[in-house]
Structure formats: structure tokens, C-alpha cells
Amino acid sequence: MKISSEPKLTADSYYEASVTRPLSRGALMSELAADVCVVGGGLAGLSAAIELRQRGYSVVVLEAKHIGWGASGRNGGQAIAGLACDISVIEKQLGTEAAKRVWDMTLEAIDLIHERRAAFKIH
Ligand SMILES: Cc1cc2nc3c(=O)[nH]c(=O)nc-3n(C[C@H](O)[C@H](O)[C@H](O)COP(=O)(O)OP(=O)(O)OC[C@H]3O[C@@H](n4cnc5c(N)ncnc54)[C@H](O)[C@@H]3O)c2cc1C
């Protein structure tokens, strides 16, 4: 089922039911200047925007629906280190060194979640 064809999936999610959302902004009708324009206000887009801001860039996030509308607002909230496939698959593709780096990144990602949770007071 395509997410875009099933808005009720979002409407009934835990996040949607518990979020306090600021008034939605209308469509962007004027010109904006920024160092980076991020398209999509899901985990990937917002994470990129936060990292960029922390490095001193000005950032605009453009979201077609509302923040967290896509997969990010529907997921199970499981933060599990590792990959969706066996590490040997990655090792075959990238070699041992790079596969180890990929694995380490999945551990760093868990740390980052904890850091962001504390920094943005997410409970
Ligand atoms: C049911 C479900 C359960 C899941 N459970 C887990 C889990 O437990 N743990 C886990 O780690 N992962 C889980 N996932 C996966 C995880 O949610 C996704 O990998 C992640 O949210 C993807 O984030 P994203 O920012 O790439 O995409 P999305 O969250 O989908 O964000 C993309 C955003 O871009 C916007 N957009 C698209 N096109 C445009 C455009 N042209 N202009 C402006 N905006 C646009 C969309 O409206 C959307 O808000 C789950 C996913 C689903 C669907």
C-alpha cells in the first residue's frame, strides 16, 4: 500500500495522537535564500538539517505535508544497532575495513539518538 494513498495510517499513529504540533505553515510563496535546502521533513531530512545548522550553515527544510508525515511518523521506534542484512553481505561488497566502519556507524547512530533526545528534551 502506498503511504501517499493512505493518510489514515498517519492520522491513527501514536505520534500523531500524542504530538503537540505548532500551527502549520502554508506553502512557501516567496523566495528564500539559504546555504542548503533540505527536501523532506522526516528523520533523514531533519537530521541533516540539524547537522548542517550545527556546522554553521543556514538551512531551509521544505516538507510537502507536515513534519514526520512519512515513514518517520509511523515507525515502531525501535533503535537497534546493526543492519537489515548479515554483515558478511556488506563485507563482500566493501571489504572488511569498510564493513567494520559501517557497523560502527550503526552504533554511533544509537549514541546520536540518545544525544538528540537529551539535547531536545524528548521523553
Ligand atoms: C510501519 C513502519 C515501521 C518502521 N519501524 C521502524 C523501527 O522500528 N525502527 C527503525 O529504525 N526504522 C523503522 N522504520 C523505518 C524508518 O521509519 C524509515 O527508514 C525512516 O523514517 C525514513 O526516514 P526518511 O526521512 O528517509 O523518510 P520519511 O520519514 O518518509 O520522510 C520523507 C518526507 O519527505 C516528504 N516529501 C517527499 N517528497 C517531497 C517533496 N517533493 N517536497 C517536499 N517534501 C517531500 C514526505 O512528505 C515525508 O515527510 C519503519 C518504517 C515504517 C513505515
Q: Which of 50, 54, 47, 106 is nearest to 72 (CA)?
A: 47
Q: Is 24 exposed, middle or buried (0-12, 13-18, 19+ CB in 10 A)?
A: exposed
Ligand 1 pocket residues where CB is under 6 Å: 39-45, 62-65, 69-72, 74-78
pLDDT value at residue 22: 75
24: pLDDT confidence band, cut at 50, 70 and 90? confident
Q: Using the mean position of ligand 1's atoms as its centre, give its distance from the Cα of residue 19 in Å.
A: 17
21-50 mean pLDDT: 92
82-101 mean pLDDT: 95
What is the residue extent of each domain of the chain? 1-78, 79-123
Question: Which cell goes with 28?
Answer: 512557501
Whether the predicted pLDDT of 123 surpasses 90: no
pLDDT value at residue 86: 92
Left (φ > 0), alpha (ψ -120 to 50) or beta: where does 60 sit? beta
Q: Using the mean position of ligand 1's atoms as its centre, give its distance from the Cα of residue 100 in Å.
A: 26
Ligand 1 atom closest to the Cα of residue 62 is: 43
Q: Using the mean position of ligand 1's atoms as its centre, give its distance from the Cα of residue 63 in Å.
A: 12
Q: Using the mean position of ligand 1's atoms as its centre, give its distance from the Cα of residue 71 in Å.
A: 3
pLDDT value at residue 4: 53
In this predicted structure, which of 16-20, 109-113, 115-119 has the lowest mean pLDDT?
16-20
Whether the predicted pLDDT of 61 surpasses 90: yes
Q: Which of 52, 56, 57, 59 is nearest to 32 (CA)?
A: 59
